[in-house]
Structures are given as C-alpha cells and as structure tokens.
Amino acid sequence: MEKEQRTVRPKTTTNDGGGVDTKTSQNKASRQSLRSSNSGSSIVSRPGERDRRPSHSGDSMAPKPKNNPKPSPSPSRPPPPIEDLFASLNKHIQRSEYKQAVKVANQVLGIAPGDEDAIRCKVVALIKSDSIEDALTTIQSAKNLPIDFSFFKAYCLYRQNKLDEALDSIKSKERSTPTMLLESQILYRQGKVDACADIYQKLQKSNMESLEVNAIASLVVAGRASEVQGILDAFRVKATSSFELAYNTACSLIDREKHLDAEQLLLSARRIGQETLLEENLDADEVEIELSPIAVQLAYVQQIFGRRQEAIEAYTGIITRNLSDESSLAVAVNNLVALKGPKEVSDGLRKIDRLKDKDAQNFQLSHTVELKLLRKQREAIYTNRVLLLLHANKMDQAREIVACLPDMFPNSVTPILLQAAVLVRENKAGKAEEILGQFAEKFPDKSKTVLLARAQVAAAAGHPLVAAESLSKIPDIQHMPATVATLVALKERAGDIDGAAAILNSAIQWWSNAMTEDNKLSSIMPEAASFMLRHGRQQEAARLYEELVKSHGSVEAMAGLITTVARVDIGKAEAYEKKLKPLPGLKGINVESLEKTSGAKQDESSLRRGLAEAHEESKSKEKTKKKRKRKPRYPKGFDPAHPGPPPDPERWLPKRERSSYRPKRKDKRAAQVRGSQGAVAREKHDAGASGANSSAPSSTLNQASSSKGASQNSAAEKPKPSKSSRKKSRN
C-alpha cells in the first residue's frame, strides 16, 4: 500500500571544531497495498533516511579575541567577563546541556546584543533541545544582522512539516553537502523519492557516515530496488555491516519478491541490533522500541507466506506492549486491521482510533504520526478507516472524512474513489459515475484507475453502455483478451450486437498487425467465430475459421470450419472434411450400414442390471408422483372472490389470552359504606343472632310432628310432603 518511516534513537557526536552534530531518526519507509476489497489495505515497512540536524561548525567554541564592550553600570554586582561566559557556553555544549547553553547565550547577548557567535550557538542549542518554535523566533529577531540563517530556518520548517516553505528557504543557499542532505530529506518527506535518490548518488564520493543507509532507503522507496546491490558495491559495504543497512536491504528484497531471503536478513538485522544496542547500555524496553520496525516487517513477511495466525499474534503483541515508535505502531495497527478484514469492524475502528488526535473533534491523525509518516502512508490509514466505516454503515462519519481527503491529498486518485464508494453505498450509482467521469476528463494522466472503477460501478448498477464506454477510453488495455471479452459481454447485454462484432474485428486486426511473441490471435479468433455463429452470422464465422485454419492449421479450427460451412454449403464442407486426417481403425467401417443397424448387442448381465435399475426408477417415480389437488371446500354462503375482511388470527386463543381482552370491572357501589363502620357491623351481628333463634324451635316442632306421623301411618303409604314442609326442610 503506502510508505512508512521509522525513527532510530538519536546519537550525538561532537565535531572537531567544538560544534555539535546530532544524527537522529533513521526514518524507515514502508510499502502499503491499497485494495478495494473487504480486507482493506496493508503497510509494509520500508527503509528510510537518517535525519541529520544542522551543526554549528567553527574553529572552536572558545571566544575569539574581541574588544570587550563597556558593560552597563549595575548598582549590584557586575556581570561576569564575556570570556568566562563563552567558556561556560562551550562546556555546556560539550556536555549536551543545551538548555543551560541557551541560558548562557542569553547572558552573552545581554552584554553584547549583536554577537554573532552567541546568536548562532543559541539557535543551534534551541534546535538540539527540540525548541523549534523558539529557534524560529530567534532567527526572525536576528534578520537585521549580517548572519545567514536560511539553512537553520529551512531545517526548522522541515521539523514543523512545512516542507514547501523549507524547500523555498534552502534554494537560495549554495549547494553544499549539508544543504544537499537537507534537501534530500525534504524531498523524501514529500514523496519525491526519485529526486532524493539522485541527490544521494551525487553524494557517493563524500565521506559521510551512514550515507549508504539513506541512499538504499531512497532507492527502495523510489521502486528501484534492483539498484541496491550496485550501491552496496559502490560503497564497498556488506548488508550486515549494521542493523539499519540490513533492514533496508531486506526491504529491497521484499520489493523484489525474494521473501525467504528477506526473512533471513531481517532475523540477522534483529540479532545485530540487539548486540549493538546492548553494548550501548540500553535497557530491554529501549532495545525493543529501537527494533520495533524489524518486528513489524517480520510480521508482514509471515503475512506474505500465509502464516496468518502468526502475523496476527505478532501485530497484536506489538500493539499491546506499546513498546514501539509512533510510525511502527501505526504500521502494525493498519496491517492488523487489513489482515483481519471487515469481520471485526468495531475492533478495527477502535484500533485505528489509537492513532487519532485526541483534541480533534473529527478523526484526524495525531501530530507525531503526521510527521513520522509519508503522505501515502497517511492516505492508506484514512482509506482503511473509511472502508471500515462503510462496512459499519456509519455513513455520516465516512462522508466527513471523504470531504477532507481532496485537500489533504490533492494529487491522489484515492479521494475520488472513496467518494464514489460512499455514493454507491447510498444507492447513488449514477452520481458516482458522473463524478468519476468528470475526474477522468480533468486528469487524463490519472484516468486509468478511475475509468476502471467507473466501469465496475456502471456494470454492477445495470448500465452496460456506460461501462463499455469507460473501458473503451483506456487505450493500453483495449485489445487485451480480458478487456475484449468484457466489452463484448457488455455490448451483448445492451443489445448492441454490431458494436460487439466491431470490437472483435478491431481486436483481430490489431493482433494480426502486432509483432509480438505472445500473440493472442489464436485465442481471440475462435471466440469471435463462436460469437458470429451464435448470432446467425455464418458467413463471417466461416471466414474467421478459414483464416484460423490457414494461419494455425489446428484440428479444432478445421472441425469448427466444417460444422459452420455445413449450414450454408454442404459441398464445401465435404471438401474440407476430406482434409481431415482419418482416425486409426475406422477404415473398414461402412457408415451407411452402421446407421441401419439397431446398435451394438448388450451383455446379458449388463442388460439385467439395466432392467433392474429401470424398474427401481419407475417405482421411485410412482412413489414420488404428486397427489391430485382437490378443490377446496368452502362453507355455505362463502364467496372466494369476495372473502370480506380476514378472520381474526387470535380466534383460536382463549379470551383471556387475546390482545383485545379487557377484564370486567367490579361494581364499586356494592362496597359503599354509609354511616359509621362500627354501627354497621353491630347491626349485622344482631340480625344474624335473631334469625338463628327464631329458626331453632320451628325445626324442633317439625321433627316431632314428622316422627309422630310416621309412627301412626307406618302400615299405610307414606304421603308426599307439602310445599310448606319442603320450604321448612331447606331451612
């Protein structure tokens, strides 16, 4: 996909003249493959440049003989002599105590405001202490002095990622070795790697440390990996002379698809790096941070070899431990998201959010990541986030990012492709085709990818003519077999048979005149003849087969010619048939007698087996025979033409379980209480007691009379009880 830079721990050295030369950031580049698939894009770690800070060079940091200006009278104690201040300034610079050096330089400038050495030392010390904004302010305040700070200004602007301004500032300088190195770093950050590589080739004769590391990095990023071995031979160094050089050379092997050799060299780079950094008394965490780009690159090689689980574990370990520089972390996050694909959309969005600027309201890469990564790397991360948002159906966030991409990457086709993808997801394929067509007309040098995307969108949306028009505007693939087949299929779908035939004829004519070893005429002409035959153009199909027989003489072409000509001219077909070579063993066979026979005799066993199979098949057919459908019986008075309102779907449920059921309300009037509650209760008790006393004697009398009557009339028939006795017996 894109390119990635990585940073190596700064190393500080001291020049002979007392100036300081700090070598920082071994910025490594990587390659990412942008794909319009569900999986998204991957970053491959690539080599990078060694970022060289400007140094103050002079005979010595000790003071020059100069006339001491008269110090301003002070009522308290007098300022120290200027010679002592310069000696202190030199001591702080030797010890890399840059903040203290700035304070001493300010003391010198308080005594001698226009001292050139003090101002120069202050600017360099501010740059060393990463106070870039203060360094620019100091340079701006000294613009009236006869000091050329254009080189330092260009470096400060480069550190602030103001690359165009930095390049303009350095153009006025004479082309020296430091100036050319800074220009190469600016061009590298801008992505102009060819110009960067050319500068390093001009600097081959200069005896600069680690120049071969930067030269190889620029060649790999420029896509000139085949020249790396020549650079190693020119510098007379081995790839394993340092872990940075081994890493960069391994990246060139990956670019040349020599992944096994690259893996072995990366393992060597890791071993050399561990030995080198441990000798410098770095702890384990610092060593892991320093070698994190190698770990990311090894994970990518595992991904290439198809070791998916190992690659996922490696990427996850780098992200979880968080012991890597910002660029390596960004590469690991992006590669892991691309490797897992859209199956884990939410997890992918959360991981990419780790690279976000926390103060920004919308998604934006943090400032450190922006500075460390190249444009194509940042573009790949933004692209992957948009694809994840589309898979997550978060259209508003996707639109916000897509709207910002044209300004961020003005010379890229990726923003317009993502804009079209968002429109397609919103079912606005026509609008997507329109903006892609406008971009292709406005930028014809970048139109190939855009036209292919437009053709794909139009074909998927059911617009075959638009798709065919887009493909026909790409001249370098116009006559390739795949393009011809696609165009013919699109024209057929649109009903333009004449247009499809014209495309086939044009392709045949182009390949007939082409003087190439890999000629595709033998594969296009049979398909063209089959197309003509399929659409009733026998004469043209016969002509194509005749040309194919004359040019190639294949048996398949002769057979196609005979079957085609037999439809229009039998005599000619028989004449061509005689040119076919006879098949061995068919000389003694009479075709006419063979047609009159009933066929060859079958073996009895095979005949019985065939009959049994036929019997079983007939049985299975009888079993699977469908039952006759009977007409439905409707209730009386039902008209199927006018069935009326549909029946209640809850008609089979109990009433209490139906959604329309409402329970009956209780009569609250029966429970109304009038008067005091105690009086009502006492009245009820008295009424119940009186009723019980009145019923007791009557029941006793009834029992006595009934027993007496029974004894008197024992021999006679038992009389039926009267209505009054039935009522009393209920009591």
Q: Report whether pLDDT(206) > 90.
A: no
Coil, helix or strand at residue 191: coil
CA–CA distance, 37 with 421 (Å, rounded to integer)? 11
pTM assigned to the model: 0.64
Domains delineated in the chain: 82-173 (1.25.40.10), 493-580 (1.25.40)
Q: Which residues pair with 31 in a beta bridge?
A: 44
Angle between helices 481-494 and 464-472 (to 10 degrees): 150
* Mean pLDDT (whole number) for 355-375: 84
- Amino acid in the structure at residue 619: K
Could you tell me which residue, 434 or 730, shows the higher pLDDT?
434
> Contact, 274 vs 291, CB < 8 A?
yes
Q: Report whether pLDDT(41) > 50.
A: no
Residue 382 banded pLDDT, cuts 50, 70, 90: very high
Q: Which residues pair with 20 in a beta bridge?
A: 14
> What tens digit of pLDDT does each residue of 506-557 get?
998 888 888 777 788 888 888 888 888 888 888 888 888 878 777 766 777 7
CA–CA distance, 393 with 299 (Å, rounded to integer)? 30
What phi and psi, each to the nearest 5 degrees, are found at residue 666?
Answer: -75, 145
CA–CA distance, 483 with 474 (Å, rounded to integer)? 10
* Mean pLDDT (whole number) for 480-489: 92
CA–CA distance, 631 with 410 (Å, rounded to integer)? 72
Kind and range of the H or E element at 42?
Answer: strand 42-44
- Number of residues that this document lists for the chain: 731
* Mean pLDDT (whole number) for 87-105: 88
Most confident of 56-65, 247-256, 359-368, 549-558: 247-256
What phi and psi, each to the nearest 5 degrees, are found at residue 55?
Answer: -120, 155
CA–CA distance, 96 with 129 (Å, rounded to integer)? 9
- In the prediction, which pLDDT does 574 show? 75
CA–CA distance, 91 with 87 (Å, rounded to integer)? 6
Most confident of 406-415, 559-568, 581-590: 406-415
Query: Percentage of residues in the chain with pLDDT exceeding 70?
Result: 75
Q: Report whether pLDDT(53) > 50.
A: no
Measure CA of the first residue to CA of the last residue in the chain; give whole Å.
104
Determine the number of helices (DSSP H) and then strands (DSSP E) in the chain. 34, 5
Q: Rounded mean pLDDT of the chain?
A: 77
Residue 599 banded pLDDT, cuts 50, 70, 90: low
Q: Which residues pair with 42 in a beta bridge?
A: 33
* Mean pLDDT (whole number) for 13-35: 30
